[in-house]
């Protein structure tokens, strides 16, 4: 795999004390518009209970807010932190920038919206040191109960997926993962055309194709802050679906097989509702079917989400769980549209 182009890795900025001897671990923290979460993320990263030397490289991806200033403030007071910046190009480009600057034998990715537990690093390192054929270890994402309701619902769904995730993993999220440095020589660089979605699953697919193991270790835990608004959640769902066609594994989690069925049902409901205004050009029996199909399919899609909502209400004691059916169906409609666009773009030779 070719090394990233030097131009793609250009970065400016950085602060702090003189460069220390090479650390054992480099933590990459890509950050875009993350001024609200970066302080908590860096405090948790720097608070890892470990005797190992590690560095933290924050790569600001051309943020329009105070993210870079916060990163530089941390670098000024802690020599383990370096702050880099680059023009906005997406998380994949930010990770490639950080990778070029990394000095550790192991390279972790902890995004700017996660707070790792104090033993996160040692838990992941224990996997890679005990299992030489394991090339990556990643952990569990916890949902903060004080986050806004769209973030909680998104987090609950991910926790549901992780509940059945096998230790021999198809995929490890870039929210929290530790790689052997050599993994980047085998599978890197991250595909910058994917910008902010599927970049980690495509990277992991390359590793698996090369015969490298990925290990899911649920004892390695982070608190993950998801999108705080419904529109942000739906935009993220669109991006995931839009680029999902580039994944080698069709189901990154066992629960994704059921998700595909729900997305398909939502797509049928959406198509029927879109055809309804044109019922008058159809023969009467077909017109009646079109008029009935959309509402019936939509009602079925909502009904099938009800058990999950009730289960969440019972287990989480969170009234926001009652909003899950309409939110899930809206997400599935958006996902179906994104998936269709992704396939069409790929068929035409694009990304």
Q: For the chain (length 351 residues), average pLDDT per consecutive 10?
A: 36 46 94 97 98 98 98 98 97 97 97 98 98 97 97 96 94 97 94 93 95 97 96 94 86 87 94 86 81 93 97 96 97 95 93 89
Structure-block tokens of residue 232: 């942000």
- 189 and 285 share one domain: no
DSSP lists the bridge partners of residue 25 as 54, 106
- 191 and 52 share one domain: yes
d(CA 315, CA 336) in angstroms, rounded, equals: 29
- Number of structural domains (the chain) is 2
- 269 and 214 share one domain: no
Q: Which domain does 12 fall in, by range?
A: 6-227
pLDDT at 19: 52
Strands 134-142 and 176-180: antiparallel
d(CA 341, CA 327) in angstroms, rounded, equals: 21
Which region, left, alpha or beta, applies to residue 119 given φ > 0 means left and ψ of -120 to 50 means alpha?
Answer: alpha
Sign of the alpha-carbon dihedral angle for 92, 94, 99, 104 = negative
- Residues sharing a CB contact under 8 Å with residue 163, sequence separation 6 or more, in sequence order: none
pLDDT at 20: 59
Query: Domain with 64 in it: what CATH number?
Result: 3.90.550.10
H or E segment to which residue 179 belongs: strand 176-180
C-beta of residue 156 within 8 angstroms of C-beta of residue 143: yes
SS3 for 210?
coil
pLDDT at 285: 81
- 208 and 270 share one domain: no
For 54, half-sphere exposure in the C-beta direction (CA atoms, 13 angstrom radius) is: 23
Instruction: Give the full edge-to-edge strand order of the sheet including 134-142.
Output: 81-86, 54-61, 25-31, 106-110, 176-180, 134-142, 213-224, 114-116
- 323 and 182 share one domain: no
- 174 and 302 share one domain: no
Q: pTM for this one?
A: 0.89
d(CA 308, CA 161) in angstroms, rounded, equals: 12
């Amino acid at each position: 795999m070719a090394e990233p182009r030097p131009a793609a890795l250009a970065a400016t900025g950085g602060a702090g004390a003189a460069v220390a001897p090479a650390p054992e671990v480099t933590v990459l923290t890509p950050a875009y518009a993350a001024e609200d979460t970066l302080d908590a993320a860096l405090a948790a990263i720097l608070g890892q209970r470990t005797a190992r030397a590690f560095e933290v490289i924050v790569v600001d991806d051309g943020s329009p807010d105070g993210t870079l200033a916060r990163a530089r403030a941390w670098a000024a007071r802690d020599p383990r932190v370096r702050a880099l910046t680059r023009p906005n190009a997406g998380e994949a480009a930010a990770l490639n920038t950080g990778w070029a600057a990394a000095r550790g034998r192991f390279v972790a990715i902890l995004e700017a919206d996660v707070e790792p537990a104090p033993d996160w690093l040692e838990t992941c390192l224990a996997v890679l040191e005990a299992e030489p054929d394991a090339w990556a270890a990643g952990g569990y994402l916890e949902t903060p109960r004080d986050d806004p309701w769209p973030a909680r619902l998104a987090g609950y769904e991910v926790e549901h997926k992780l509940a059945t995730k096998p230790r021999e993993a198809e995929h490890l999220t870039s929210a929290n993962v530790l790689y052997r440095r050599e993994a980047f020589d085998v599978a890197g660089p991250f595909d910058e055309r994917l910008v902010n979605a599927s970049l980690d699953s495509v990277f992991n697919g390359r590793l698996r194709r090369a015969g490298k193991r990925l290990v899911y270790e649920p004892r390695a835990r982070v608190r993950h802050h998801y999108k705080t608004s419904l529109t942000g959640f739906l935009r993220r769902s669109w991006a995931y679906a839009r680029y999902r066609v580039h994944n080698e594994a069709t189901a990154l989690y066992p629960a994704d097989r059921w998700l595909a069925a729900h997305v398909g049902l939502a797509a049928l409901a959406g198509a029927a509702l879109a055809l309804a205004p044109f019922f008058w050009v159809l023969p009467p029996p077909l017109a009646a079917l079109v008029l009935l199909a959309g509402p019936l399919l939509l009602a079925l899609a909502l009904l099938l989400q009800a058990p999950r909502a009730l289960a969440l209400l019972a287990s989480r004691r969170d009234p926001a769980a009652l909003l899950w059916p309409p939110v899930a169906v809206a997400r599935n409609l958006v996902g179906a549209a994104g998936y269709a666009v992704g396939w069409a773009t790929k068929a035409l030779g694009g990304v």
